[in-house]
Amino acid sequence: MRKLAKVMEVSHTAAMTATRNLGMTSYVKRKRQLLSSSTKLLRVKKGKKLVNWMRKNPGLVRVFSDEKFWTVDMARNARNDRYLATSASMVPPINATKHPQGAMMLGVVASDGKSMPPFWFPAGLKVGTNEYLDVLKTVVKPWLDSTYPEGTMFSSKIVHQGIRPSKPRSGAGNLERKACSKPPPNVASLKSAVHEEWTNMSMDYVVKVCSGFRPRVEAMIEAEGSHFEI
């Protein structure tokens, strides 16, 4: 707004008043992935298959997974993290390291509210398709078999066909804000903090997060594979 006032050669207050009178609001510019025509078509094709599968299997528990690289740096939201002060010099900085220590985690949740204990990949491991499938076979499938013994055939299909479980609009951001509200001193403390917050997630919260998956897929299809989030 100050930049606009400078360009228009008016005071900051005048620019704010004019904007308000016009019913306009200053928004943050969004950063999003560039989608080609072929990518949009593929998104719609896969989305329709997913929706059809969910319609035919309304009673099945759906399993979602996501990987995230956690670092010992303090969590920061450039848009929402604010600090009330009389001058900028009073605002405590958030220090960031050039190459922060961290670890890669695999999180698995189910639409009925259950969640698998976080799995941490070995330090330095480059996670590709083969490494991911190995974790599916040795970690995720045993958890599925013990948690859902009646769904053994389905969980076997996931592993044998190499189907990578989808992810909902997860609460990773919320989890990060809680676990990394203060910079952990080391990776061990980081893992401990993440594990604690993960364990504290209520089943109702997990169900709510997972329930948003289908509406988002349907919204993407309606948008013909393009961006649908405001």
**85: buried, middle or exposed (CB in 10 Å: 19+, 13-18, 0-12)?**
exposed
CA–CA separation, 121 vs 108, rounded Å? 14
Within-domain flag for 227:
no
For residue 153, the model assigns a pLDDT of: 46
- pTM of this structure: 0.70
Same domain assignment for residues 23 and 87: no
Same domain assignment for residues 140 and 157: yes
Same domain assignment for residues 13 and 88: no
Q: In CATH, what number is assigned to the domain containing residue 73?
A: 3.30.420.10
Q: Which domain holds residue 68?
A: 38-222
Same domain assignment for residues 189 and 86: yes
Same domain assignment for residues 45 and 22: no
Length of the chain: 230
Same domain assignment for residues 125 and 178: yes
Same domain assignment for residues 127 and 173: yes
Same domain assignment for residues 7 and 100: no
CA–CA separation, 189 vs 72, rounded Å? 9
Within-domain flag for 229:
no
> Total structural domains in the chain?
2
Same domain assignment for residues 78 and 180: yes
- Checking if the pLDDT of 165 tops 80, the result is no
pLDDT digits (tens, 9 = 90+) for 28-80: 777 888 899 999 999 999 999 999 999 998 888 888 988 888 887 766 666 66
Strand, coil or helix: what is 75?
coil
**Among 186, 174, 182, CA closest to 103:** 186
For residue 156, the model assigns a pLDDT of: 46
Structure tokens at 40: 């949009």
**Among 119, 120, 112, CA closest to 148:** 112
Same domain assignment for residues 22 and 85: no
pLDDT digits (tens, 9 = 90+) for 172-213: 667 767 777 777 788 888 888 888 889 988 999 999 989 988
